[in-house]
Chains A and B, each alone.
Chain A
Amino acid sequence: MTTTGERPVGFGRMTRKEDARFVRGHGTYVDDVRLPGMLYGAVLRSPLAHARIVSVDTSAAEAHPKVRAVITGETLAGLGLAWMPTLSYDTQAVLATDKVRFQGQEVAFVVAEDRYAARDALELIDVEYDPLPPVVDARRALDPGAPVIRDDKEGRTDNHVFDWEAGDRAATDEVFARADVVVGQDMLYPRVHPAPLETCGTVADMDAVTGKLTVWSTTQAPHAHRTLYAMVAGLPEHKIRVISPDIGGGFGNKVGIYPGYVCAVVGSIVTGKPVKWVEDRSENLMSTSFARDYHMPGEMAASRDGRILGVRVKVLADHGAFNSTAQPTKYPAGFFHIFTGSYDIEAAHCEVTGVYTNKAPGGVAYACSFRVTEAVYLVERMVDVLAAELGTDPAELRMRNLLRPEQFPYRNKTGWEYDSGDYPRALRLAMDLAHYEELRREQAERRERGELMGIGVSFFTEAVGAGPRKHMDILGLGMADGAELRVHPTGKAVLRISVQTQGQGHETTFAQIVAEELGIPPEDIDVVHGDTDQTPFGLGTYGSRSTPVSGAAAALVARKVRERARLVASAMLEVSPDDLEWEKGRWFVTGDPDQGRTMAEIALAAHSTLELPEGVEGHLDASCVYNPPNLTFPFGAYICVADVDAGTGQVKVRRFVAVDDCGTRINPMIVEGQVHGGLADGLGMALMQVIAFDEDGNCLGGSFMDYLLPTAVECPSWELGETVTPSPHHPIGAKGVGESATVGSPAAVVNAVVDALRPLGVRHVDMPLTPAAVWRAARGQPFRSDLAIT
């Protein structure tokens, strides 16, 4: 059996199994869940960024005829739930008691008979605030005398969250001291938001009789959520069921637990009814996990002939009002310390200082592989700054410094071991697809005519598939994932996985992995996920970890089944298991290929009256947990071609070439879809997205009129290429790909625009490259994109 056409047995292009329901409008999202007697919740939010709460009067709201409960911070304090732990060992207010610390913070929760009444009742709650000066500019957060945001924490006198460093400071200082050339560039990766199409929400149903709590929730990590509910609320874990139904995009936004979820649970406990809470778009943009917000003064050292010797940076990280970043606990700056990128660099050192500001909490989220995005942006911008300083072509400078294939596995200077790669091949392919030399000639001609055309190159190395569990955990829960495979008597199979699709196509991809291993069609394999009562424990989907971790578990559990099938086949054929050989879908006798049994025949036999051999108790079912030995390191080379209108500052991305290497491609169509989405996302960040704040701490990106998502009009026809360098340690050689394009593309776009502006003496422009930002930068008068434009 071989892979053919649209319906492969195993890897290959096939349309997505889940799309039949999505394109017909038959998906079931949290807001589609309707239970008998269900009530509706709404959150009252702070209009101020920083204020002391003087009083909260809920009497008028409680008197509303359709209101069933009003919950305040005081109510929750009585239950010990006013504060909850964050994923970064900080605490976050569920409902504010003492102060509000960002605009949009949760202050009270109303439960009513319908959505309209719940919303009406919010206006009946009277909160008296005593305004405090807010901390808006992260660069001022540690100033002496800055208002202390977290005075809830005993003895705290400043807004400092953490200091963290990686690499070798002395060695780095040494290479900088002897380098011919040192370049520096201060850059901001502004605060952006994942903005999934489906906002966050929960339906909580506490059954007062059985004591069982069922929570339908927008979560990328249902098992982790269940354990956290048990830990936070003190509910017995076996009495909690988290169901993550169809999820309309996550991008990291749905990793954490939000106050609204907890309020819905409390609302159900208080009223004895199911309670639905689904936030609106502004609530999503203003209060749920943002991403980035890294202020990065980078430096790069090199020899005169263009050998990169060292890189260093002292990052200021804006973490908002509560440190609730979602990342492996040991890494407060995520995987930022992979900022040596794809280059053979002698020495590197980074320091990261996290600060509190009066802004929404969160961080890390948004298709960034735990801050690899910021790292890639930093190093790729620095390489271009260096290229400009040296007068070297940026592609040529990269080619000169890229890791060579024979250096893999490669240990970089901050401790990462890159598993596999052929970087020059990927860059060469991208340059060939783009006709790079021709583009440079065209650019020269256009510059003669005074036109602004730019060519931007970026090369990225991703780090995805967390754990291993000993190095990576969230609140002590090790990052590993389980899989269970059941084969029915007729040879149809059910795979149960712990990761959670938000649109990535798991129901197809994971069926294809099992199909590849067992030789049965993907249509015959049902993939079950998103229900803690039905699936094995695991840490969920984020950081592109589904395929690297859970995909490996699926392959390994299928191999267990296959080996068990071998034993059954040996009994059926009355030969030794050692005399059997596997071809896709059947075991046969060595030297006598006609003597064989298919998986379906074997599955039936395993449930039949056949005398089963030792090692087989009665079926073929198996389970396993996969604890990855290392991350996988996908990589790619991107080239962007952009034209800038000198008169208006408008940027038009004309072409975008993306060569991705994510190892083995299970379903190339799905991989390409992931890359398309990530490129659009990255282009959006580069050109138009930012959550800025005015001097009072008002969020200036609280709607889709203010926070812009790119459309097809802004996106060029993506030109994709691929190389395949399998991961040596992954069972099927696959690496994650979900975030590659988001990680790699912003730098390519910015590099292209800066390249276009080079004749005007521009060396850098901070994102987003709006017409105004480009026009001002071209005049040498850039403005801060994270603050209100004045």
Chain B
Amino acid sequence: MQVPATFQYARATGVEHAIELLTRYGPEARLVAGGHSLLPMMKLRLAQPEALIDINGLDELTRIRVDGGELAVGAMVRHAGLLASAVVGEHFPVLRDAERMIADPLVRNRGTVGGSLCQADPSEDLSAAFCALRATLVAQGPDGRRVVPVREFFLGPYETVLGEAELLLEVRVPIRSHASAYRKVERRAGDWAVAAAAAVLELSGGVVTEAGIGLTAVGAPRFVAEEAERYLCGGPPDEERFAEAGRVAGEECRPSADQRGPVDYKRHLAAELTVRALRAAAARAQGQEA
């Protein structure tokens, strides 16, 4: 049986209280949301925080709302909640696709949207999906609130721009007439992605006016394939251009080899899944289910 080292525990009663606790306990404190990354690391003693600040009581962060033409997902929304949300399913199929393949129902019942982003795991699905959507993140710290574009949120593996006493409140995505999809290869249901791609297409008059391509697990800087996005804009959403976009995405990512696969395979997957996600998004734009 794996047991963690000693730690202190405090339960936050509100956002302000959580920030106060973070300030009080200092840099060796960690927020615990769903705990599905942190607690296993603590049991393995790869993480030994001095204090856990439990934010599971912060009901104000558990809502999914439509607010001023934007979808606002509270940081404490569980994966299962995001998956079950009708408004998310209607406007953001990329999120529904991703959630269907994130871990398993047990993890999805507990794990949170905010926890997934703040963990900044290089294989996180939602990071790629929200980056493709160009979401913005609202955070609050001792100095007040700020808004951070998700593409500027990640500094590297397990590292974000959040300050020591700063708390993610919600994720906001503009509701637009775009089409989207997520495609992932995993070794087994519930495993982390070998690679995955999120595609978001905004079309006007048969031309791509904006493209979002998110990639996870393949070392794409800030989870996006920017060159491929730029390439797609201004042209038709057809197979030929998708293939080229995939090729560009495969080249701009920087995968590393591990037991999920060698570099050439991951690069290939980044390209292949980019194409498949784009294809599915384009089909959805035509009103076809994909």
Pairwise interchain contact B192-A775, C-beta atoms closer than 8 A: no
Pairwise interchain contact A711-B189, C-beta atoms closer than 8 A: yes
Contact of B191 among A692, A708, A788 (CB under 8 A): A708
- CB-CB nearest in chain B for A788: B259
Judged by a CB distance under 8 angstroms, whether B261 is at the interface is yes
Instruction: Write out the residue numbers on chain A whose beta carbons fall within 8 Å of the beta carbon of B260.
Output: 770, 772, 789
Pairwise interchain contact B262-A772, C-beta atoms closer than 8 A: yes
**Count of A-B residue pairs with CB < 8 Å:** 77
Q: When chains A and B are docked, how far (Å) is the Cα of A700 from the Cα of B258? A: 9
Q: When chains A and B are docked, how far (Å) is the Cα of A713 from the Cα of B186? A: 12
Most central of A647, A706, A783 by chain B CB within 10 Å: A647
Judged by a CB distance under 8 angstroms, whether A119 is at the interface is yes
Judged by a CB distance under 8 angstroms, whether A282 is at the interface is yes
Judged by a CB distance under 8 angstroms, whether B188 is at the interface is yes
Q: When chains A and B are docked, how far (Å) is the Cα of A710 from the Cα of B187? A: 10
Pairwise interchain contact B259-A648, C-beta atoms closer than 8 A: no
With contact pairs A705-B192, A711-B190 given, residues A771 and B185 touching in the complex (Cβ less than 8 Å): yes
Q: When chains A and B are docked, how far (Å) is the Cα of A280 from the Cα of B1? A: 4
Q: When chains A and B are docked, how far (Å) is the Cα of A770 from the Cα of B185? A: 11
Contact of B188 among A711, A789, A790 (CB under 8 A): A711
Pairwise interchain contact A771-B262, C-beta atoms closer than 8 A: no
Pairwise interchain contact A789-B269, C-beta atoms closer than 8 A: no
Stretch at the interface among B2-10, B13-21, B218-226: B2-10
1/0 per residue, CB under 8 A from B, across A747-790: the answer is 00000000000000000000000111001100000010000111
Instruction: Write out the residue numbers on chain A whose beta carbons fall within 8 Å of the beta carbon of B189.
Output: 711, 713-714
Pairwise interchain contact B194-A771, C-beta atoms closer than 8 A: yes
Pairwise interchain contact B272-A789, C-beta atoms closer than 8 A: no
Contact of A650 among B45, B185, B191 (CB under 8 A): B185
Pairwise interchain contact A692-B259, C-beta atoms closer than 8 A: yes
Q: When chains A and B are docked, how far (Å) is the Cα of A451 from the Cα of B98? A: 26
Judged by a CB distance under 8 angstroms, whether A115 is at the interface is yes
Instruction: Write out the residue numbers on chain A whose beta carbons fall within 8 Å of the beta carbon of B259.
Output: 692, 700, 706, 788-789
Q: When chains A and B are docked, how far (Å) is the Cα of A120 from the Cα of B5? A: 7
Judged by a CB distance under 8 angstroms, whether A605 is at the interface is no
Instruction: Write out the residue numbers on chain A whose beta carbons fall within 8 Å of the beta carbon of B262.
Output: 772, 776, 783, 789-790
Instruction: Write out the residue numbers on chain A whose beta carbons fall within 8 Å of the beta carbon of B272.
Output: 647-648
Judged by a CB distance under 8 angstroms, whether A659 is at the interface is no
Contact of B187 among A120, A692, A708 (CB under 8 A): A708
Pairwise interchain contact A688-B1, C-beta atoms closer than 8 A: no
Pairwise interchain contact A775-B265, C-beta atoms closer than 8 A: yes
Most central of A278, A706, A772, A775 by chain B CB within 10 Å: A772
With contact pairs A282-B44, A706-B259, A790-B257 given, residues A771 and B187 touching in the complex (Cβ less than 8 Å): yes
Judged by a CB distance under 8 angstroms, whether A116 is at the interface is yes
1/0 per residue, CB under 8 A from A, across B32-54: the answer is 00000000000011000000000
Instruction: Write out the residue numbers on chain B whose beta carbons fall within 8 Å of the beta carbon of A692.
Output: 259
Which residues of chain B from 151 to 207 have any CB-CB distance to chain A below 8 Å in the complex?
Answer: 185, 187-192, 194
Judged by a CB distance under 8 angstroms, whether A649 is at the interface is yes
Pairwise interchain contact B265-A776, C-beta atoms closer than 8 A: yes
Instruction: Write out the residue numbers on chain B whose beta carbons fall within 8 Å of the beta carbon of A713.
Output: 188-189
With contact pairs A649-B265, A789-B258 given, residues A31 and B188 touching in the complex (Cβ less than 8 Å): no
Q: When chains A and B are docked, how far (Å) is the Cα of A282 from the Cα of B104? A: 21
Q: When chains A and B are docked, how far (Å) is the Cα of A31 from the Cα of B104? A: 27
Pairwise interchain contact A708-B188, C-beta atoms closer than 8 A: yes
Contact of A282 among B2, B188, B191, B265 (CB under 8 A): B2
Q: When chains A and B are docked, how far (Å) is the Cα of A789 from the Cα of B258? A: 6
Pairwise interchain contact B185-A120, C-beta atoms closer than 8 A: no
1/0 per residue, CB under 8 A from B, across A116-159: the answer is 10011001000000000000000000000000000000000000
Q: When chains A and B are docked, how far (Å) is the Cα of A703 from the Cα of B273? A: 28
Pairwise interchain contact A775-B188, C-beta atoms closer than 8 A: no
Pairwise interchain contact B3-A116, C-beta atoms closer than 8 A: yes
Judged by a CB distance under 8 angstroms, whether A281 is at the interface is yes
Pairwise interchain contact B188-A772, C-beta atoms closer than 8 A: no
Q: When chains A and B are docked, how far (Å) is the Cα of A783 from the Cα of B260? A: 12
B116 CB to nearest chain A CB (Å): 16
User: How many of A's residues come within 8 Å of B, CB to CB?
Assistant: 35
- CB-CB nearest in chain A for B190: A711
Contact of A771 among B1, B6, B192, B261 (CB under 8 A): B261
Q: When chains A and B are docked, how far (Å) is the Cα of A649 from the Cα of B191? A: 16
Pairwise interchain contact A648-B269, C-beta atoms closer than 8 A: yes
Instruction: Write out the residue numbers on chain A whose beta carbons fall within 8 Å of the beta carbon of B188.
Output: 687-688, 708, 710-711, 713-714
- CB-CB nearest in chain B for A649: B265
Q: When chains A and B are docked, how far (Å) is the Cα of A708 from the Cα of B260? A: 11
Chain A, interface SS category: loop
Most central of A647, A648, A783 by chain B CB within 10 Å: A648
Judged by a CB distance under 8 angstroms, whether B268 is at the interface is yes
1/0 per residue, CB under 8 A from B, across A273-290: the answer is 000001011100000000
Instruction: Write out the residue numbers on chain B whose beta carbons fall within 8 Å of the beta carbon of A648.
Output: 185, 269, 272-273
- CB-CB nearest in chain B for A283: B2
1/0 per residue, CB under 8 A from B, across A624-650: the answer is 000000000000000000000001111
With contact pairs A282-B44, A647-B272 given, residues A789 and B1 touching in the complex (Cβ less than 8 Å): no
Instruction: Write out the residue numbers on chain B whose beta carbons fall within 8 Å of the beta carbon of A280.
Output: 1-2
1/0 per residue, CB under 8 A from B, across A91-127: the answer is 0000000000000000000000001100110010000
Instruction: Write out the residue numbers on chain A whose beta carbons fall within 8 Å of the beta carbon of B191.
Output: 705, 708
Q: When chains A and B are docked, how far (Å) is the Cα of A389 from the Cα of B193? A: 37
Instruction: Write out the residue numbers on chain B whose beta carbons fall within 8 Å of the beta carbon of A123.
Output: 45
- CB-CB nearest in chain A for B183: A648
A252 CB to nearest chain B CB (Å): 22
Pairwise interchain contact A115-B261, C-beta atoms closer than 8 A: no
Instruction: Write out the residue numbers on chain A whose beta carbons fall within 8 Å of the beta carbon of B3.
Output: 115-116, 119
- CB-CB nearest in chain A for B260: A772
1/0 per residue, CB under 8 A from B, across A445-474: the answer is 000000000000000000000000000000
Q: When chains A and B are docked, how far (Å) is the Cα of A627 from the Cα of B187? A: 46
- CB-CB nearest in chain B for A701: B259
Instruction: Write out the residue numbers on chain B whose beta carbons fall within 8 Å of the beta carbon of A775.
Output: 261, 265, 268
Instruction: Write out the residue numbers on chain A whose beta carbons fall within 8 Å of the beta carbon of B187.
Output: 688, 708, 770-771
Instruction: Write out the residue numbers on chain A whose beta carbons fall within 8 Å of the beta carbon of B273.
Output: 648
With contact pairs A278-B1, A713-B189, A771-B187 given, residues A120 and B6 touching in the complex (Cβ less than 8 Å): yes
Instruction: Write out the residue numbers on chain B whose beta carbons fall within 8 Å of the beta carbon of A119.
Output: 3, 5, 45
- CB-CB nearest in chain B for A781: B264
1/0 per residue, CB under 8 A from A, across B241-279: the answer is 000000000000000011111100100110011001000
Contact of B6 among A116, A688, A714, A789 (CB under 8 A): A116
- CB-CB nearest in chain B for A774: B265
- CB-CB nearest in chain B for A713: B189
Instruction: Write out the residue numbers on chain A whose beta carbons fall within 8 Å of the beta carbon of B2.
Output: 280-282
Q: When chains A and B are docked, how far (Å) is the Cα of A783 from the Cα of B261? A: 10
B56 CB to nearest chain A CB (Å): 23
Q: When chains A and B are docked, how far (Å) is the Cα of A334 from the Cα of B119? A: 48
Instruction: Write out the residue numbers on chain B whose beta carbons fall within 8 Å of the beta carbon of A281.
Output: 2
Q: When chains A and B are docked, how far (Å) is the Cα of A770 from the Cα of B265? A: 12
Instruction: Write out the residue numbers on chain B whose beta carbons fall within 8 Å of the beta carbon of A647.
Output: 272, 276
B100 CB to nearest chain A CB (Å): 11
Q: When chains A and B are docked, how far (Å) is the Cα of A772 from the Cα of B195? A: 11
The 8 closest A-B pairs by CB, nearest first: A772-B261, A713-B189, A280-B2, A772-B265, A708-B188, A647-B272, A648-B185, A119-B3
Q: What are 26 A-B pairs at a CB distance below 8 A?
A: A115-B3, A116-B6, A123-B45, A278-B1, A281-B2, A647-B276, A648-B272, A649-B265, A650-B185, A688-B187, A703-B44, A706-B259, A711-B188, A711-B190, A713-B188, A714-B189, A770-B187, A771-B185, A771-B265, A772-B194, A783-B262, A788-B259, A789-B258, A789-B259, A789-B260, A789-B261
* B interface residues, Cβ below 8 angstroms from A: 1-3, 5-6, 44-45, 104, 185, 187-192, 194, 257-262, 265, 268-269, 272-273, 276
Other A-B pairs beyond A280-B2, A772-B261, 20, CB < 8 Å: A119-B5, A119-B45, A120-B6, A648-B185, A648-B273, A649-B265, A650-B185, A706-B259, A708-B191, A711-B104, A711-B188, A713-B189, A771-B269, A772-B194, A775-B265, A775-B268, A776-B265, A783-B262, A789-B257, A789-B261
